[in-house]
Amino acid sequence: MNVLVFAESDNGKVAKAAFEAATYGAKVASTTGGTAAVVTYGNLDQAGLNELASYGISKILHCAAITDLDPSQLTKLTIAAAEETSAELIVFSHDYTGKSIAPLVSAKMKAGMVAGAIDYPETGGDFIVKTNVFSGKAFAQVKIKTDKKIITLIPNAIPNAISKVKAEGAADVSAFSPELGAQSVKVKDFKSEGGEGINLTEAELVVSAGRGLKGPENWTMIEELAKELGAATACSRPVSDIGWRPHHEHVGQTGIAIRPNLYIAIGISGAIQHLAGVNGSKVIVVINTDKEAPFFKAADYGVVGDAFVVVPKMIEAVKAFKAGQA
C-alpha cells in the first residue's frame, strides 16, 4: 500500500518524531509493496528534507505557504497530498500537531483512524493496529474497516524507530500548493517560558522530580543531572501547580504522557495518576527516601535514599562514566 507521512516542522527543522513516522511509514509501504511519500509545510531547510528522504521516502511534497498550525488548512493539504500520492494509509505522529490534524483528516475522508499506535500494523488479512488504552494500563487491537486508513504513532514507542535505508542525497522535493481555503485559527501570540531545552515528548532520557525536592531552588541539581545525561526535565503535578516548574513539564494523567527509554523519578511518590503518564517508559529509576513509596513497584532500579545526597553523586558518576567513554 502507498503510505503518506505527515511530517511536522518546528522552527524550520523537521521534528524528530517526523523521522520516526517516516521510518514507520516506509516500512509499512515496503512490506506491503507500496511507496512512501511525505507531506510537510513551513520554512524548511534542505538538509532536513534530504535527511527525511534517507529513511525510505520516495517523494516529498512541501507546502511553504502554510507556516502556522492551522488545522483546517493542514487538513486540506494532507487530503490533497493523499490524493496526489494515491495513499491508502496516512501516518501522523501522536503529538500536539498530529492530534490537532489527524481526526479532521479522518472525518473528512471517512478514513478509519487508530490514535496512539505502539507497533506496526498487522497487514496480512484485516488491517489491525495495536494501541495504548486506559492511560497506558492496557492495549487494544483495533481493526480499520475502511479502504483509506489513518494512524497516529506514539513517539518513542518502537525500538529503533528511526532507521536510515539509504545515504542522504538530494531528496525528490516538489513544491505543493493545493487550494487551502482561508485560515481558521489565528495565532495571536507566543508567550515563551524560556524552556528551550529538549522537547519532553521526544526525549529519550528524562529526569523528573517531585515535591520531595522541597523548593524550586533545588532544581539546579536536577537540571545539572539532566544536562550531563542529555536528558529533558519533567515534574509531578503539584510541583507545576505551585509554580516551582513550568506547566509544560508536568507529566501524568492530566499532564503529558511520555515514553522515554529512561525515566528517572526523584522525590516523586508514584501516585497512579503520575504513573499513567510515564508507565510506557522502557526503564524507570526511582530515588526516594521512603522505601514504601509506591513508585518502587513500577521501577526497574531503585535507590532508597535522600535526593540531596544521591543526585550530586549521580552527577559525579555520570561525569566519570562519560570521561571513561571518551
Partner 1 sequence: MNILVCISKAPDTTSKITFKDNDTKFNEDGVQFIVNPYDEWYALVRALELKEAQGGNVTIISVGGADYEPIMRKALAIGADEAVRVDSPAIDAYQVAAEIANYATSNAFDLVLTGKETINYNGSQVGGMIAAIMDVPYTSNATKLEVSGNAATIERDKQGGVEVLEVNLPAVISAAKGMAEQRIPNMRGIMAARSKPLSVISATVTDSLTETIRFSLPPAKGDVTLIDPENITELINLLHSEAKVI
Ligand X SMILES: Cc1cc2nc3c(=O)[nH]c(=O)nc-3n(C[C@H](O)[C@H](O)[C@H](O)COP(=O)(O)OP(=O)(O)OC[C@H]3O[C@@H](n4cnc5c(N)ncnc54)[C@H](O)[C@@H]3O)c2cc1C
Instruction: Using CB under 6 A, pick the residue from 30, 123, 218, 253 that binds ligand X.
Output: 253
What single DSSP character describes residue 212? G
Of 50 and 253, which has the nearer Cβ to ligand X?
Answer: 253
The distance of closest approach from Cβ of residue 50 to partner 1 in the complex, given in angstroms and rounded to an integer, is 25
| Residue of the chain from 16, 62, 76, 237 that contacts ligand X (CB under 6 A) | 237
**What burial class does residue 50 get, using C-beta atoms within 10 Å of its C-beta: 0-12 exposed, 13-18 middle, 19+ buried?**
middle
Nearer to partner 1, 179 or 189 (CB): 189
Residue 53, C-alpha cell as written in the block:
528522504
Reading the block at residue 312, the C-alpha cell is 550530586
56 near ligand X, judged by CB under 6 A: no
Query: What is the gyration radius of the CA atoms in the chain, in angstroms?
Result: 21
Question: Nearest approach, Cβ of 244 to ligand X (angstroms)?
Answer: 10
CB under 5 to 8 A by kind: which of partner 1, ligand X, none does 293 bind?
A: ligand X
CA 4, CA 2: separation in Å to the nearest integer?
7
- Burial (CB < 10 A; 0-12, 13-18, 19+), residue 85, is buried
Residue 138 binds what, of partner 1, ligand X, none (CB under 5 to 8 Å, by partner type)? partner 1
**Residues 297-326 interacting with ligand X (rule: CB under 6 A):** 306-308
Nearer to ligand X, 56 or 116 (CB): 116
d(CA 285, CA 262): 8
293 near ligand X, judged by CB under 6 A = yes
Q: How many CA within 13 A on the CB side of residue 322? A: 10
Query: CA end-to-end span of the chain, whole Å?
Result: 45
Minimum Å gap between C-beta 237 and partner 1 is 8
Residues in region 109-148 near partner 1 by CB under 8 A: 110-116, 126, 128, 132-146
157 interface partner picked from ligand X, partner 1, none, CB below 5 to 8 A per type:
none
User: Do 27 and 59 form a contact (C-beta atoms < 8 A)?
Assistant: no
For 257-275, b where at least 16 C-beta lie within 10 A, e where not — what string? bbbbebbbbbbbbbbeebb
CB atoms within 10 A of CB 149: 24
CB of residue 229 vs ligand X: minimum separation in angstroms?
Answer: 18
# residues near ligand X by CB under 6 A: 26
Is 207 a residue that touches ligand X (CB under 6 A)? no
Helix (H, G, I), strand (E, B) or coil at 67: coil
Beta carbon of residue 248, minimum distance to partner 1 (angstroms, whole number): 5
Stretch of 34-42, 45-53, 212-220, 272-280 contacting partner 1, by CB under 8 A: 272-280
Residues forming the site for ligand X (CB under 6 A): 210-212, 236-239, 252-255, 267-269, 271, 273-274, 277, 287-290, 293, 306-308
